[in-house]
A = this chain, B = another copy of it.
């Protein structure tokens, strides 16, 4: 059972959301008329984060950051967040408070105050974060057109490289501190998302890796996407970590996930109008919906992280 399949079946079980819902299940966030954006994310211990490599405050930061990133990907401005905390058996009250200090730091950095929550006991730590925002013109994944270019903000591969360094799976490169920080405390691209909202036709955040996220954009927009792995912008230190793993750097950066950059489709002529630095990594064509990779490491089966596959 894969994540894509199960989500499809669950969405079918729920049926239609009704006419008041502008963007229903399936995008980075839903839009409740007229401009209210909402998204929810689970952060589960030993699935998304590990105590061995992240401090409690890092875990709290990341839980809120990955949810706020979905607001960024809609071009939205945060209004606030609510958090459900399942307190793992091995977690003390002091550690729970330390988790929330990390949440608070991210809330301050992103302008997304936590306004409510719930707590319960559970076998492991889990944070369920829901964020609310407003977007004058919410940007979905569905607007890409043949002829558009595919582009990305910032640099990729850093979070996965940071994880491998933190877990001691690869020799630590000189950039190890920045890579570890990228893994532990990702920065949602809120400013970039709002700036791009008037310029791009489709946008989503790179949460599971470009390989998976480009496929989401392709399927939502009903277009074919070509990705040149050699064009992917790499965070400093990623090439060395990928080499240590024996993987082509572009393929490594496309599948690692958790970078939380923004992946967009836009008219190539609009690239100069974007006030945000973008790297073109591919193009949109009118073939069957799906992704084709080129460049070193290209493989039709390339894909990012799937939360339901072991």
Residues of A within 8 A of B (CB): 1, 3, 5-7, 9-10, 13-18, 20-21, 24-25, 27, 29-30, 32, 36, 38-42, 44, 47-48, 79-80, 82-87, 93, 96-97, 100-101, 103-104, 107-108, 113-124, 126, 128, 130, 132, 307-308
Q: Do B113 and A13 touch across chains, with their CB atoms under 8 A apart?
A: no
Instruction: Report the separation of the CA atoms of residues A116 and B140 in the bound assembly, to the nearest whole angstrom.
Output: 14
A245 to B14, CA, bound (A): 40
10 A-B pairs closest in CB distance: A128-B128, A30-B115, A130-B130, A13-B100, A17-B113, A30-B116, A40-B82, A84-B128, A42-B84, A42-B120
Which residue of chain B lies nearest to A94 when distances are taken between CB atoms in the complex?
Answer: B9
Whether B128 contacts A42 by the Cβ 8 Å rule is yes
Q: In the complex the two chains form, what is the Cα distance from A83 to B30 in whole Å?
A: 12
Query: In the complex, are the beta carbons of A80 and B15 less than 8 A apart?
Result: no
Give the docked Cα–Cα distance between A16 and B44 (Å): 26
The reply to whether B47 and A104 contact each other, CB–CB distance below 8 Å, is: no
- A44 CB contact (under 8 Å) in B17, B103, B121: B121
CA distance A108 to B48 in the complex (A): 33
A119 CB contact (under 8 Å) in B3, B29, B85, B103: B3
Contact B6 A116 (CB under 8 A): no
Given A115-B21, A115-B24, A80 and B38 contact (CB-CB distance below 8 Å): yes
Whether A120 contacts B17 by the Cβ 8 Å rule is no
CB pair B44 A93 closer than 8 Å: no
On whether A97 and B42 interact (CB within 8 A), knowing A32-B132, A115-B25, A132-B132, the answer reads: no
